Structure 1
């Protein structure tokens, strides 16, 4: 083949590649979740939920690029950088755990890509300034849940509280907000112990905790690693009430923990007990819709609250896309990403699986008390407790 013929072929190939891309603008959603590693019980249902999200919105094709960060903060950052610089996504969803989500913030901000985290800690979106203006999240803020716990503790006569939680940002955040919420109810946090997500023993921490003789204990952890201190407390004969955060609100916890989880109390999003909610609960219809779609694909009883957080992130994107398109900006551009960020921030009265979202310039969580119910494990099942 002559140089001239080869050059013509190369030019023709380049044109053939360029024109379909220009003619088929599409909204690209990047996703990084922890579908392996210690947070896998969170990340797997989040990953599985992505396949249920719409592939066309307002006449535009929507595609999803899903990566696993293995509950590793460095990998979460690496995934995020790939999604925004190589895949040119318009929005990032994830990740499952707080440390990874916090580490992703600078990457999305420097590339001006909106991010919706599915991790809980309020530090992901607070203080709402600088890089965080690009970041939103769907799980309930820790303080909202801690206030519900403190009110329940007060009703149950708790005066002293022990704490054991993750030795990371999740545990830090929960210890901080629980101290504030407890003190407001006249409850003292008398001891605080920490452990790592992949630890295999917490015997030393539990012995120190029990030495302070608390009326009750709060486990500030998430996913199946919560079973480790729960079992140790039971094995050591602790007779007080054991509370958990909403990070324990999934069926995998019950599966791993078994009988040792009987009687635990925690705050949760309404999705966890959707079938037990009164018909007038503002999130019931939306939560039921997600349950129907998820269990239609994955089987009866498989609905998971963490998958619900990803579903809600998807609903925020679906609500924002038409508004962003009205600006005239095209998917794949800086202008569209800015318009999408602005549209997410303007979402109001969006009923989703975990509550009703009302985003503002200063609140990128947007949830209120309607996103919180109290539940208790009774006979191995989550039960709605409206009187707690």
Structure 2
């Protein structure tokens, strides 16, 4: 079922029967890291979900199976980027009246958490939790395949970095070598360097002349920068989140490591990087599935700021998830009663599984059979304390 079919069904539902007062509610839970080193990601996702819910409710809420209207409500739970906490949080959410959860933030939480869900729908021998999860942030590749109750609205980093290194090869033909820096204890950072960035660079003819590793809570990067300086690479790729990206960039500046091209991790295309080290980040290039390049994206960004957050590629997905779920809820014939809760959860799961495309803030997102997504993207670079669109591969 394509999204256009869902939209048609939604419009028909809106036309069916008189609306009643919005004394009914549909609960969409959010969860992720809203505290700790990467807490800003969860805070922004929570703000984006709240902003999207406000917009939907201001426009009349959602239409239920009987033609009545319901308001959306959302609560955001902090899992502290800890796998055990994340599993506990999801079980707690499943014990409430929530019909679906958006999250989590961290890939090291997502992977074991998805493992407690029923792997195959209708497998009578699998007693795993039957609850739909629609991921906004945890971006490590391939995780949706763990369970048929999992759906992700995260961009394909393999696609984005392959395109980026092809573009670098074309625009910087004199660049031959690359040096990698990686946040070794963070699942997303580690996977993206070893399985995505490095492979894409090598596929496009770059020679890897060294690697440096550090940890998420590290504050001293002198040894890593020293090794990088000795290698004199043409390209440096830093696969790390904003806090340690800034730490590494400051040390590179101190030791005068000056590559021709500087590449960053998707998650660092955020305000936090520019707030932490705008001068040192000047010129860093990052592929991202969000930039405020059209009216819809700009409006969403303003709404999220009004709710105390910022819109980036992760929180933009949280906004999109709420908008997608609205249409799935209306098309699936959700009843929204205590008696229908389990059936409603299954309907939402099936509705998400049926999607082949859905609208996003940068354009149409493709929904893949394995629950993953392929999203439009652009390359941005840091210019004078702002993220500016450097190149749009889709244009």
**Fold shared per TM-score above 0.5:** yes
Measure, in 2, the Cα distance between the counterparts of 1:81 and 1:210: 48
Q: Secondary structure at the match of 1:358?
A: strand
Aligned partners of 1:173 and 1:204: how far apart in 2?
A: 22
| Higher helix content, 1 or 2 | 1
Tell me the equivalent position of 2:153. Answer: 138
Q: 1:43 aligned to 2:51? A: no
Give the corresponding residue for 2:270: 250
Pair 1:291-2:301 in alignment: yes
RMSD (Å) for aligned C-alpha atoms: 2.4
Match of 1:360 in 2: 368
Q: CA deviation at 1:214?
A: 1.8
Cα separation, partners in 2 of 1:93 and 1:102, compared to 1, 3 Å: same
* Alpha-carbon distance between aligned partners in 2 of 1:100 and 1:304, rounded to the nearest angstrom: 21
Q: Does 1:214 align with 2:237?
A: no
Q: Distance in 1 between matches of 2:107 and 2:362?
A: 18
Residues 215-272 of structure 1 show CA distances to partners (whole Å, capped at 9, x for unaligned) of 1111112233321112122221111022102111111210111311111111112x32
Look up the SS of the partner of 1:27 in the other structure: strand
1:96 to 99, 105, 111: 105
Tell me, yes or no, if the aligned pair for 2:62 and 2:71 is still in contact at 8 Å: yes
Unpaired runs of 5+ residues, structure 1, are 1-23, 278-283
Q: Which residue of 2 aligns with 1:183?
A: 202
Alignment of 1:1-388 (within 5 A): 26-52=25-51, 53=53, 54-55=56-57, 56-58=61-63, 59-84=69-94, 86-109=95-118, 110-118=128-136, 119-125=138-144, 128=145, 131-154=146-169, 155-157=171-173, 158-167=175-184, 168-175=186-193, 176-240=195-259, 241-269=261-289, 271-272=290-291, 274=292, 277=293, 284-298=294-308, 302-325=310-333, 333-362=341-370, 364-368=371-375, 371-386=376-391
Secondary structure of the residue aligned to 1:361 is coil
The structural deviation recorded for 1:88 is 4.4
Per-residue CA deviation, residues 313-360 of structure 1 (Å, 9 max, x unaligned), is 21221121112226x796753322222112112234422225422213
1:242 alignment partner, SS class: strand
C-alpha distance 108-285 of structure 1, shift in aligned 2 (>3 A) = farther
Instruction: Give a deviation string over 1:25-70, Cα, whole Å, max 9, x none.
Output: 7432221121111112212111112222235311234332311122
CA shift in 2, pair 1:379/1:289, >3 Å: closer
Distance 1:342 1:386 in 2: 37
Mapped to 1, the partners of 2:154 and 2:368 lie a distance apart of 16
Runs of 4+ in 1 over 6 A off after TM superposition: none
Provide, for residues 78-105 of structure 1, a one-character-per-residue CA deviation record: whole Å limited to 9, x for no partner.
2112111x22422111111221122221
Q: What SS does the corresponding residue of 1:263 show, helix, strand or coil?
A: coil
Query: Which structure has the higher relative contact order (CA within 8 Å, separation 6+)?
Result: 2
> Over alpha carbons, which structure has the higher Rg?
1
Q: Distance in 2 between matches of 1:123 and 1:91?
A: 21
CA shift in 2, pair 1:206/1:156, >3 Å = same
Contact kept, 8 Å, 2:134 with 2:151, in 1: the verdict is yes
- Please give the alpha-carbon distance, in whole angstroms, between the structure 2 residues aligned to 1:163 and 1:66: 35
Q: Residue 16 of structure 2 aligns with which residue? A: none
CA–CA separation in structure 2 for the residues paired with 1:318 and 1:122: 26
Secondary structure of residue in 2 paired with 1:38: coil
- Match of 2:257, SS state, is coil
Runs of 5+ in structure 2 lacking a partner? 1-22, 64-68, 119-127
TM-score (norm 2): 0.80
